[in-house]
Structure 1
Amino acid sequence: MPTADELLSADTVSNLARTLARAARAPRSPALLTCAAALDGLGYGARVAAVRDAVLADLPDDWPAFEALVRTALEDPGFAGWMTFPVNEAVAVRGLAAFEPGLALLRDLTPRLTAESAVRPFLRADPGRALAVVRTWTGDPDPHVRRLASEGTRPRLPWAPQLPAFVADPRPAVPVLDALHRDPSAYVRRSVSNHLNDISRDHPDLAVETAAAWRSDPAATTDRVVRHGLRTLIKAGHPGALALLGHSPDVAVTVRGPVVATPRVTVGEYLVFEYEVTHTGPLPAELVIDYVIHHVKANGTRTPKVFKLTTRALAPGETLTGSRRHSFKPITTRRYHPGEHLVQLQVNGRVRGEAGFSLDVPVGP
């Protein structure tokens, strides 16, 4: 993933300063030029905030003049990419009082680089009023704008503030997804799936109900949208999600494994295991096969995490065999603790076999 330096570099901010100065017919944008020289050591969030504040300092205080200058900048094809992101955030500050004109400007900015984060202050301030505008975007000819309708209203959009009202009750935004789940653009449909997955984390039954309605009148792309949107529920073995996708938890199978080939693993190495699944029922079956690692916590208890293995259709009597190498290389998002861990094999959300293994954590110098 690109670093903060690469996404919003001093050169990018200097180019933004020149672009806005041309739009304003001014000799320079002093706050932005000062900001460009002071970005060293700032992480991504701090950079966005610093450049946003510089944009607000350099551009007019009153909304009509601010909007006119940004729209003049939009006439410049060079005004694109990451230089526009902090401008979007400045619109979220200056345009909130104007509201509908502020959202309209974000709609026009989003094709240059997504304004998904910048629409969220409007949705937090007045969800109903903002949604009235956002719903009109679902029919926009530009897929970037249609995606903004779905992505901007996600309850738990990564790297952006949550929408507490939609975390508590996502139903007001569901009509946006209903309008877009058959969208011709895969870019838009992917956002719809991710939005549905957000809903599933807090309201699993609503997510399944929404997906079931889509499948009642499916397009060729509906199954993929639903599968990706319910992925967290499938991993968790949610009965309604599994049933909707034809993965019965009571499927007739026999399982051998997981058979652990590395009963002792050191951090930096791999857990290796094999498995065998035989379908013993009379009709073909759709199987979702996952594995679960129960990591030892600092207090000695374990916490599970589900990982994907495969999704396969098996004929009666057919056997699927496989193996997996699971990395225990150090990562920033997990701290490993020594002790007896557990690996389980899960078929259609139901645990069918398990085995233990030891994890050793080297002591640093």
Structure 2
Amino acid sequence: MSASETAAPALKEIFNAERLQHIATEMSAVYPAFKAKAFLRHANDGLADLSVMQRMARVSESLHHVLPLDYADSLNVLRELAPRLNSGFVSMCLPHYVARYGAHAFDTSMEALKYFTTFGSSEFAIRHFLRSELERSLELMHDWTRDENHHVRRLASEGSRPRLPWSFRLEPVQADPLLAAGILDRLKADESLYVRKSVANHLNDVTKEHPEWVLDTVEGWSLDNRHTAWIAKHALRSLIKQGNSRALAVIGAGAKAEVELLDVKVEPTVVRLGETITLSFTVKSLVPVEQRLVIDYAIDYVKANGGTSAKVFKLKTLELAGFGVKDMQRSQQIKDFTTRKHHVGKHAAHILVNGERLATADFHLIF
């Protein structure tokens, strides 16, 4: 069996012909006058050439194309459809419908987004309302932070992220994190991990432009609450990777590591694209007291022009006993991604302990 035959299906196949038929069938169940054949013709036209997000948009456009109802009545039908769809991601075509056709009806549309987010997420759609009516949208989203449904609470944080993946940036929030600060403050001890991940990701976005603001914010929180402490740690992950002393101090690893690294090596020392390297070493404490250590590693990837670009990876956070010894090992496949292409040459693997580079081992990539 070839690699192409065993590869996972492309994400865009979430919206394949079978799924479109499912949507048509369920629409016909809730709205018997639904023109299923016309919907399928419109939705399937050129489907193979569309990305996953384009396919999601195509579904909402195709629904609008065949529904003879006004906006409010269309929403009533789509509300009945939402719980019948067999995929949370697919249900995101419904918030897209709201964003595409409901700009004229703010209150109705925002209430619809609140409802639809409980079946998947309205995070992409709500950004269109944030872009057009920022203050009004944020005020409503601030109220949602007290909603009993964790999907709604998450939408308040996720939808207002300045750098939400797969979406456009919210430039005003990117420039001034105070705009959404009230939302984050209300959610900083949320009992739902789903919500906490969003708050941490939102704050991690903010560290790209305003690291000191995020540090000031987190340092002002009471980290005795375990939910708040979890958010703080994950919100600061990029700064921790960078070795930021304030960020490391927040998680209790701000002190210089009193350790030495032994038997540092990368095996094999010569590797081809697609093969796996293993980085291994031993951490030995030099002091009689316990130390909290944040251990990361960075690889200097060779670029097309012969220079290098470092990428930091998380490895381990641990409490090392006085004069304790700990063996560490991490394997990593050297393969191309859409965001990283490999080039031949010497690559350096660095070990970072509490933000400080303490050892390096090299390997050579050949084709």
Partner of 2:51: 43
Q: Which residue of structure 1 lines up, in the alignment, with residue 214 of structure 2?
A: 207
Letter in 2 for 1:329: K
Cα distance change on mapping 1:211 and 1:92 into 2, 3 Å = same
1:187 is displaced (CA, Å) by 1.5
Alpha-carbon offset, residue 143 of structure 1 = 1.1
Distance in 1 between residues matched to 2:31 and 2:278, nearest whole Å: 62
Equivalent residue for 1:242? 248
Q: 1:4 to 1:326 in 2, by over 3 A?
A: closer
1:193 aligns with 2:200: yes
Equivalent positions of 1:23-62 (< 5 A) are 23-29=30-36, 31-38=38-45, 39-60=47-68, 62=70
The 2-side partners of 1:354 and 1:334 are apart by 22
Query: How does the TM-score come out when normalised to structure 1?
Result: 0.90
Query: 2:21, 2:96 → 1: CA distance?
Result: 18
Which residue, out of 151, 157, 180, partners 1:150? 157
Q: Tell me by how many angstroms 1:355 deviates.
A: 2.6
Which deviates more from structure 2 when the two are superposed, residues 47-56 or residues 123-132? 47-56
Structure 2 residue aligned with 1:276: 282
TM-score w.r.t. the length of structure 2 is: 0.89
Determine whether 1:346 maps to 2:348: no
Q: Which amino acid is 2:15 matched to?
A: L
Q: Which residue in 2 is equivalent to 1:309?
A: 315
**1:80 CA drift (Å):** 5.6
Per-residue deviation, 1:65: 3.2
Deviation at 1:79, TM superposition (A): 4.3
Structure 2: gaps of 5 or more residues: 1-7
Tell me if 1:173 matches 2:180. yes
CA distance in 2, matches of 1:279, 1:21: 68
Pairwise CA distance, 1:183: 1.4
Change in CA separation of 1:339 and 1:281 when aligned onto 2, cut-off 3 Å: same
Q: Tell whether 2:91 aligns with 1:84.
A: yes
2: CA distance, partners of 1:245 / 1:12: 45
Take 2:287 and 2:320, find their aligned partners in 1: how far apart are those partners?
10
Give the unaligned 5+ runs of structure 1: none
1:242 and 1:224, CA in 2 relative to 1: closer, same or farther beyond 3 A? same
Take 1:325 and 1:87, find their aligned partners in 2: how far apart are those partners?
42
Deviation at 1:2, TM superposition (A): 5.8
Does 107-116 or 25-34 show the bigger shift? 25-34
Quote the offset at 1:21 in angstroms. 4.4
Judge which range, 106-115 or 349-358, deviates more: 349-358
Partners of 1:249 and 1:303 in 2: how far apart? 27
1:183 has 2:183 as partner = no
CA distance in 2, matches of 1:72, 1:282: 65
CA 1:278–1:44: 2 relative to 1, 3 Å: same
Question: Do the aligned residues in 1 keep the contact of 2:114 with 2:152 (CA within 8 Å)?
Answer: yes
2:102 aligned with 1:95 = yes
